[in-house]
Each structure stands twice: as structure tokens, then as C-alpha cells.
Structure 1
Amino acid sequence: ATDPDGDELSYEWTTSGGDITGTGAVVGWTAPEAVGIYDITVVATDGHGREDTRSVYPSVATDTPPTIENLIVTAEHKYLKTTTTGYMVGKTKEYNIECIVSDTSGGVSYNWSCDGGELSGEGSMITWTAPNTSGYVTITVIASDIADNRMRKSIILHVVGCSPCTFG
């Protein structure tokens, strides 16, 4: 910082976590072990009591991506069956898909995509509507943490006609 009158400045540094070392215009900050977003603030004061405050908000994260433990498909109807390769689902039916994540870095965001049918919603649970055609659909989610560490997981859904003998 500079003072328009050329006055010498004093600096007071504070942080919401971690340790500040040194004094003056340039100091060091040692991040805490806990994952999170922290506040580092400096107040620069001149000899006449005028001051200016600035803050930065660094993120502390691990370099380990979130772990997607499972993708769970549920429905409020009977047209859902678990198979050895994924799930059998009925044409045009709606399904909830939940991404179960264990995360070590906090603040997980989700990016969902599919190659058939329609997705709606956001976050760890979305709704998927099956297409009106038989075939296989892949639904993929990418889970990202605050450090942009990412993990991807997909499930395969076999879309079939909704006959009682198929879903029993």
C-alpha cells in the first residue's frame, strides 16, 4: 500500500485460521490443516489515523478428489430392476438418481450428463426421464470439490417397454 501524502504506514494483519508470520506490508500465512475458506485481512493506517482495509479469501483443500461411493437409482413406481450391468428401466418413466460422495475437501458440486432421455434438477440428486425408445443410456456425474479435484462415475440404464412380465 502507498499513502497519497507519503506518510509511513503501519499494518495490522488478522486471519480467521492459520498463522500469520512477520510484520509490515509483506507477511507470510501458514494454512491451517482444516479444509475450508479463510479470511486474511490487513488494515493499513497512516500517521493521521486514516486507514484502508483489504481482505482475501484463500481456500484450503486436499489434493484428493471427492470419492463417489455409489450412484443409486430409485423410483416411485415398479418399473425399475437392478441388473448385473446397471438397471433396467421403463420407457418415459421418471427416476431419481443420487450421487453418494465421501469428500475430504468440502464444498462438492455436481455436473450431470446423459446420452438419452432428460435430466432435471441439480446437486447430489437429480431426476431423469427415460426416452420413449428402447436401448442403453449412460448417465455420468462429475463430482468436484473447492480445489477443483474431480471424480467421474457412470451408470448404464437399459430402457425397455413397461410390461408387467419384464419388471414382475
Structure 2
Amino acid sequence: MTDHELPVRPATFAELEKLIGQELGPTQWYDVTQERIDAFADATNDHQWIHVDPARAASSPLGSTIAHGLFSLSLGPQFSYQLIAFDGFAHSLNYGYDKVRFPAPVPVGSRIRMRSTIISAEQVSGGIQITTKQVVEREGSDKPVVVAESVARVVESS
């Protein structure tokens, strides 16, 4: 856990470098409801029964519907806003993800949250590339539900 006030607000490359290796978080808990899972299924047109059919899922080895892995991953930006703000930069953007894994399911009714660690910040053409390890955990579980490396780009204000 960090001793920083959250969200941290780096505004320069040097301030980002000081954050490398420090864990930020956790975020606030997020409730995973069937309504949210169904909305994600509708938005992505992924209506696989383990996500959207509570009756059928109840008789599965998982015992209930589960959130899509990509649903949990898609919460990364929302969670990140609670941990770090790039408003001191001219602009920022999501550049992508590396090494995404979904080690454990997220049953409906779960609560999840994220911890984040900046693992690198490097100057690249046109800005700074920041790689952050994101670990999403489920309340009551020792195993994370998402482990991913998020890659972002920021541009220092002039």
C-alpha cells in the first residue's frame, strides 16, 4: 500500500521515475452485478451462457455466472483514475496492454479492486511511455482475477 495521497499526480518524467516500483492502491471496491455483466455482454455481443444464463450457470462447476475476463480488464482505466492522475501532463492516452492473464473467475456478486505498480517510465519519441502492472483482486480470494501490464503514453506540458 502506498503512503501517498491518492491519486498521485506526477507532472514530469522525474516525478514518474520516483514512482517506479511503488505500489499504489488498493482502489475502492467495485460490485460485480448481473446487470453489469449483461450490459457488458450487450456492448460486446458476447452472450456466452456462463456469463448471461444464471439458471444454466448455477448447475455448472462454477455455480453461478461469472464476469467476462475482458469485463474485469476493461475496469483498468476506471481503477487507475483512483490511483494516478496525469492531469499535470499536456495529454495522456492508453497505448495498450502486455501479458494479460485471468488467473481466477469473478462470480456474480463479487467485489473487486485493483492495485497498481509503475514498472517503467521511458522517454520515447513524442513523450513518455509508462508501463504499469495492474493486479485486480476479488474480495475473499487469495488468487488475483486479472494480472496485466498496461502501457500508456503521456506528453509533458511545455
Please indicate, yes or no, whether the TM-score normalized by the shorter chain is above 0.5. Answer: no
Structure having the higher helix fraction is 2
Looking at CA atoms only, which structure, 1 or 2, has the larger radius of gyration?
1
Query: Please, what TM-score do these two structures have when normalized by structure 1?
Result: 0.30
Query: Please, what TM-score do these two structures have when normalized by structure 2?
Result: 0.32
Structure having the higher strand fraction is 1
The answer to which structure, 1 or 2, has the higher relative contact order (CA under 8 A, 6+ apart) is 2
